[in-house]
């Protein structure tokens, strides 16, 4: 018992006057096992059995209650009525609010388009399953009735085919299952989340399901894959066919199916029209994702995207930029957006009150057993009614032999209560037969009526024999199921909406192939600005706009598919692609590389390299102390798509100049002392370690340093022959003044 600050039990301070529960407010210890058993388990079982998991007839309780209410309202044959009326009547069976009931009706409706075969024939705005924001109208504005296919759900429901149970307040009776003539459990999608378990059943084509069930009745070992090709979604789309995954779903009831949308390329308008999407997403989610990718420059081929969904159905229009290949773009969108998504299957169904995850064959066997029981009960019900009628007609047959006697008995009986007993004793018939005879109207005491009734006896006897034969022969019942399935398939069967794409028909997605390939000129300035300009734009205006004091360090012809390496003054290298930068003009400043690539504070890019192949060439790093490092380009290649590499070059000395070369060449080095040295890179050994210190090339006295480096072409090399050396390191030679000025320009 809790103790307060005065060390007195709290119970003594709780008033017990009238109206207050004694002991209220006390903290009572209770074992967790007891709490779970008394409170949580009943809730969990209620959710599993009475809410989230469908049963063998294909319906959750909320669906069944709604449809049965509509059936009792006569909405199978009558005109539509306001949805609000249906919702109100359903509350007699379903103890939920009007909003929850109406939501259930919306999902079952034709207008919502979530089912292959809708159960509710709707009129008005019922929204769309493929739209997140397209809300349905209030129930007072819409109308509904049962769709024609519901005749197959409720057929013979009044012939004791299924059990009836009391509703929640014991004022009405409702069916525990619907005697569906076809396996509706696999025809329309059904999902639900219970406590500790869930259910997700994908839809199949009605005709294929009926044919598969028929073949399974004829041969329990039938290969269902031969007749049941794949799921069929109401929104259409294409299934990426994987035989092994589909086999697992068919056998175990668990797995996932990849579904992608359908599209058409309109060449005249240079746009793509998407006409169907996977059942797990919405048009808004797809559009938002594509816009997000466009903002991140991951999808640059699109100029505009809009939702043109209307009276003709779903339609997302994507306007393309000039020169974009639509097939390649769609492969990219399938990879990066919900235009391709997975539908997870979990065939969890309540079988006689027990949740079971079943494969399709087992599920169909369960349905066949359920339907067999429905037909047996229907047959027994009809047999009983016909036997009762035959029993009454046999009495009429006896009366016909002496009808005048019957009239005399009734006429001469003083009290009405004695009419039936007198008829019973006069003709040796039982009480029910006597009641039947006594209730015959005077107008029916004619020869024609009586002869017709007597003639019914023979036909009744034949019908009774047929019914008894059905009950005694399992094959007869199976023949009836097959006949009914054929009728349903012929009457309601439709062509498949979802097509199959086989693995060998799916082009492999490669990110690099999605980048448009065209020639560009790249410009990189001393202050770290980058420009990508097409040759056409450059021909129109070649004058480069720069910030005050800035100058172009590098200008190179490249391709939009090239990779870029930016070396910084912090001995780091940042990787990027030319395609990640926007095309611009000479009149623009360009993009600031440090901000674009997310460089560190006070970090400045000092060298840019564009490349296609890491296996070709090497880098030369010239340091102020006269050392030169020669590093193979392969050292910068990574297996993963890393954006940044540390220790790109040696951090012990200040770098003066960086060069990329595919083959060895001559380089002119100038020191702060004014000495010049011409050295060939072949004299420097190639290293694989990025941060190698290199070798000494130019000997420098204390206080001196290398200040400039220039690459010398083979044609100009003879002009600098006086500075060339065959051994390393050397001090260099005093140059001509013009050469010094020229060399001093050659550093960052």
Nearest CA to 260 out of 276, 283, 242, 243 is that of: 276
Instruction: Tell me which of 170 and 674 has the higher pLDDT.
Output: 170
- Is residue 196 scored above 90 in pLDDT? no
Q: What share of the chain is helix, strand, coil (3-state, %, to 5)?
A: 35, 25, 40
Q: Which of 141, 449, 518, 607 is catalytic?
A: 141
Same domain membership, residue 604 and residue 729: yes
CB-side exposure of 159: number of CA atoms within 13 Å?
18
pLDDT digits (tens, 9 = 90+) for 185-195: 999 988 888 88
Q: Whole-angstrom Cα distance, residue 627 to residue 611?
A: 26
Inside any domain, residue 500: no
Q: Would you state the structure tokens that stand for residue 286, as one six-digit string?
A: 């797809």
Indicate if the pLDDT at residue 506 is higher than 80. Answer: no
Please give the residue range of the domain that contains residue 381. 376-490
Tell whether the torsion through CA atoms of 135, 136, 138 and 139 is positive or negative: negative
- The region of weakest confidence among 37-51, 203-217, 536-550 is 37-51
Please give the full DSSP string across 334-401, using - where no structure is assigned.
HHHSTTEEEEEEE-EEEETTEEEE--HHHHHHHHHHHHHHHHHHHHHHHHHHHHHHHHHHHHHHHHHH
User: Are 383 and 452 found together in one domain?
Assistant: yes
Q: How many domains does the chain have?
A: 5
Domain final residue pick, 340, 362, 384: 362
Find residue 629's DSSP bridge partners.
621
Give residue 156's pLDDT band: very low, low, confident or very high (50, 70, 90): very high
The Cα-based distances of 568 to 374, 534, 599, 678, 742 in angstroms read: 80, 26, 9, 26, 25
**What would the pLDDT profile of 37-46 be if each residue is shown by its tens digit?**
777 778 777 7
Per the CB < 8 A criterion, the answer to whether 305 and 263 are in contact is no
* 659/649 Cα distance (integer angstroms): 12
Element (H, E) at 129: none
* Structure token digits, residue 588: 């623009």
Any residues with CB less than 8 A from the CB of 286 and at least 6 apart, and which? 261, 274, 277, 316, 337, 338, 339
Give yes or no: residues 652 and 588 share one domain.
Answer: yes
> What stretch of H or E contains 144?
strand 143-146
Residue 73 has a pLDDT of 96
Query: Under 8 Å CB-to-CB from 636, ≥6 apart: which residues?
Result: 565, 573, 614, 645, 648, 690
Instruction: Report yes or no on 387 lying in a domain.
Output: yes
Residues 525 and 670 in one domain: yes
What digits encode the pLDDT tens for the residues 394-405?
A: 888 887 777 888
Tell me the pLDDT tens digit for each residue of 132-148. Answer: 988 999 999 999 999 99
Does the residue 189 lie in any domain?
A: no
Q: Is residue 95 part of a domain?
A: yes
- Distance between CA atoms of residues 71 and 149, nearest Å: 12
β-sheet bridge partners, residue 621: 629, 658
In order, the DSSP letters of 532-543 are EE-HHHHHH--P
Pair (671, 572) in one structural domain: yes
Last residue of a domain, one of 308, 329, 362: 362
pLDDT at 564 over 70: yes
Give the chain's mean pLDDT: 89
Please identify, among 362, 396, 429, the residue that sits at the C-terminal boundary of a domain: 362
Both 299 and 398 in one domain: the answer is: no
pLDDT digits (tens, 9 = 90+) for 631-654: 999 999 987 778 899 999 999 999
Query: Any idea what DSSP says for residue 208?
Result: H
CATH number at residue 408: 1.10.268.10
Across 55-76, b (16+ Cβ under 10 Å) vs e yields: bbbbbbbbbbbbbbbbbebebb
Residue 731: predicted pLDDT = 87
What's the Cα-to-Cα distance from 90 to each of 97, 100, 545, rounded to whole Å?
10, 11, 74
Average pLDDT over residues 309-332: 90
Report d(CA 147, CA 336) in Å as an integer: 39
Q: 516 pLDDT band (50/70/90 cuts)?
A: confident
Would residue 509 count as lying in a domain? no
Question: Which residue do the tokens 């469908």 mark?
Answer: 54
CATH of the domain at 263: 3.30.1360.40
Would you call 509 a catalytic residue per the annotation?
A: no
With beta carbons less than 8 A apart as the criterion, state whether 624 and 654 touch.
Answer: yes
Tell me, yes or no, whether 188 lies in a domain: no
In terms of domains, do 287 and 395 share one?
Answer: no
Per-residue H/E/C for 70-113:
HHHCCCCCCCCEEHHHHHHHHCCCCCCCHHHHHHHHHHHECCCC
Q: Is residue 393 part of a domain?
A: yes
Beta strand extents in 407-528 (DSSP E only): 499-502, 519-525
Structure tokens at 71: 């059936």
Looking at the fold, whether 351 and 383 belong to one and the same domain comes out as no
* Helix/strand/coil (H/E/C) assignment for every residue in 465-499: HHHHHHHHCHHHHHHHHHHHHHHHHHHHCCCCCCE
User: What CATH code is carried by the domain that includes residue 124?
Assistant: 3.90.199.10
**237 and 334 inside one domain:** yes
Give the side-chain half-sphere CA count within 13 A for 218.
Answer: 12
Quick check: 255 and 243 in contact, CB under 8 A? Answer: no
What is the Cα–Cα distance from 287 to 317, expressed in whole angstroms? 10
Per-residue pLDDT for 544 more than 80? yes
Mean pLDDT on 203-208: 96
Integer CA distances (angstroms), 426 to 22, 421, 432, 525, in order? 75, 8, 14, 124
Give the pLDDT mean for 257-277: 94
Distance CA 507, CA 501 (A): 11
Q: What are phi and psi of 84, to 5 degrees?
A: -60, -35
Q: Which of the residue ranges 31-40, 177-186, 427-436, 727-736 would you say has the lowest mean pLDDT?
A: 31-40
What is the C-alpha to C-alpha distance for residues 646 and 245, in angstroms, rounded to an integer?
Answer: 44
Annotate 236-272 with three-state secondary structure.
CCEEEECHHHHHHHHHHCEEEEEEECEEEEECCCCEE
Q: What is the mean pLDDT of residues 65-90?
A: 95
d(CA 223, CA 135): 43
Q: Give residue-wise pLDDT tens across range 268-305.
A: 999 999 999 999 999 999 999 999 999 888 888 899 99
Q: In 3D, which of 227, 231, 207 has the Cα closest to residue 487?
A: 207
Residues 412 and 482 reside in one and the same domain:
yes
Asked if residue 443 and residue 357 are part of one domain, the reply reads no
Are residue 387 and residue 527 in the same domain, yes or no?
A: no
Q: Please indicate, yes or no, if residue 503 is contained in any of the structural domains.
A: no
Q: Is the model's pLDDT at 254 over the cut of 60?
A: yes
> pLDDT for 321-330, tens place per residue?
888 889 989 9
Quick one: DSSP state of residue 231?
-
Q: How many CB atoms lie within 10 A of CB 34?
A: 9
């Amino acid at each position: 018992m809790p103790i307060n600050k005065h060390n007195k039990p709290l119970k003594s301070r709780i008033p017990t006057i009238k109206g207050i529960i004694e002991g209220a407010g006390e903290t009572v210890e209770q074992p967790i096992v007891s709490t779970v058993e008394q409170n949580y388990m009943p809730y969990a079982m209620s959710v599993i059995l009475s809410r989230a998991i469908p049963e063998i007839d294909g319906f959750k309780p909320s669906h069944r209650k709604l449809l049965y209410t509509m059936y009792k309202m006569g909405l199978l044959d009558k005109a539509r009525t306001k949805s609000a009326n249906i919702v109100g009547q359903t509350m007699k069976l379903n103890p939920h609010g009007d909003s929850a009931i109406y939501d259930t009706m919306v999902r079952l409706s034709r207008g919502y388009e979530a089912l292959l075969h809708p159960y509710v024939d709707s009129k008005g705005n019922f929204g769309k399953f493929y739209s997140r924001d397209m809300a349905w109208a209030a129930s007072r504005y819409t109308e509904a009735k049962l769709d024609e296919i519901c005749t197959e759900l409720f057929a013979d429901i009044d012939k004791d085919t299924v059990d009836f149970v009391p509703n929640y307040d014991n004022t009405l009776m409702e069916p525990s299952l619907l005697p569906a003539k076809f396996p509706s459990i696999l025809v329309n999608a059904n999902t639900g989340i219970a406590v500790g378990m869930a259910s997700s059943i994908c839809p199949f084509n009605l005709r294929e399901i009926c044919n598969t069930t028929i073949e399974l009745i004829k041969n329990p070992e039938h290969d269902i894959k031969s007749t049941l090709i794949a799921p069929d979604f109401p929104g259409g789309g294409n299934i990426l066919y994987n035989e092994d995954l589909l086999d697992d779903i068919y056998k175990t009831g668990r797995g996932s199916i990849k579904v992608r949308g359908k599209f058409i390329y309109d060449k005249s308008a240079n746009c793509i029209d998407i006409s169907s999407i996977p059942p797990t997403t919405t048009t808004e989610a797809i559009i938002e994702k594509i816009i997000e990718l466009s903002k991140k420059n991951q999808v640059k081929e699109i100029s505009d995207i809009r939702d043109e969904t209307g009276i003709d159905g779903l339609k997302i229009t994507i306007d393309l930029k000039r020169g974009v290949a639509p097939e390649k773009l769609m492969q990219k969108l399938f990879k990066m957006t919900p235009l391709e998504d997975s539908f997870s299957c979990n065939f969890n169904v309540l079988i006689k009150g027990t949740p079971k995850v079943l494969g399709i064959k087992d599920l169909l066997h369960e349905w066949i057993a359920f339907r067999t029981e429905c037909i047996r009960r229907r047959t027994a019900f009809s047999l009983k009614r016909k036997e009762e009628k035959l029993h009454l007609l046999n009495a009429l047959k006896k009366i016909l032999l002496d009808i005048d006697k019957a009239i005399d008995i009734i006429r001469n009986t003083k009290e009405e209560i004695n009419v039936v007993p007198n008829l019973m004793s006069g003709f040796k018939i039982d009480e029910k037969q006597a009641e039947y005879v006594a209730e015959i109207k005077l107008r029916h005491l004619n020869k024609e009526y009586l002869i017709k009734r007597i003639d019914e006896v023979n036909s009744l006897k034949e019908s009774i024999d047929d019914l008894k034969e059905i009950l005694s022969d399992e094959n007869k019942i199976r023949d009836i199921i097959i006949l009914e399935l054929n009728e349903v398939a012929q009457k309601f069967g439709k062509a498949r909406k979802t097509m199959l794409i086989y693995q060998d028909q799916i082009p492999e997605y490669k990110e690099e192939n999605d980048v448009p390939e065209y020639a560009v000129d790249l410009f990189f300035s001393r202050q770290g600005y980058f420009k990508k300009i097409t040759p056409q734009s450059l021909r129109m205006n070649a004058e480069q706009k720069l910030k005050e004091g800035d100058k172009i360090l590098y200008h190179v012809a490249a391709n939009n598919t090239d990779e870029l390496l930016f070396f910084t003054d912090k001995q780091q290298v940042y990787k990027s692609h030319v395609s990640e930068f926007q095309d611009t003009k000479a009149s623009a400043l360009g993009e600031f590389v440090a901000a674009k690539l997310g460089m560190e504070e006070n970090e400045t890019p000092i060298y840019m390299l564009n490349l296609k192949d890491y296996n070709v060439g090497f880098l030369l790093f010239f340091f102020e102390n006269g050392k030169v490092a020669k590093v193979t380009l392969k050292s910068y290649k990574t297996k993963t798509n890393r954006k940044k590499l540390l220790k790109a070059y040696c951090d012990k000395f200040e770098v003066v100049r960086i060069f990329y070369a595919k083959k060895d060449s001559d380089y002119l080095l100038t020191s702060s002392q004014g000495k010049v040295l011409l050295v060939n890179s072949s004299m420097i050994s190639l290293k694989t370690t990025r941060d190698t210190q290199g070798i000494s090339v130019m000997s420098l006295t204390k206080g001196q340093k290398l200040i400039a480096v220039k690459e010398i072409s083979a044609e100009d090399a003879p002009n600098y022959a006086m500075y060339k050396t065959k051994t390393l390191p050397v001090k260099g030679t005093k140059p001509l003044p013009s050469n010094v000025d020229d060399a001093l320009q050659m550093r960052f």
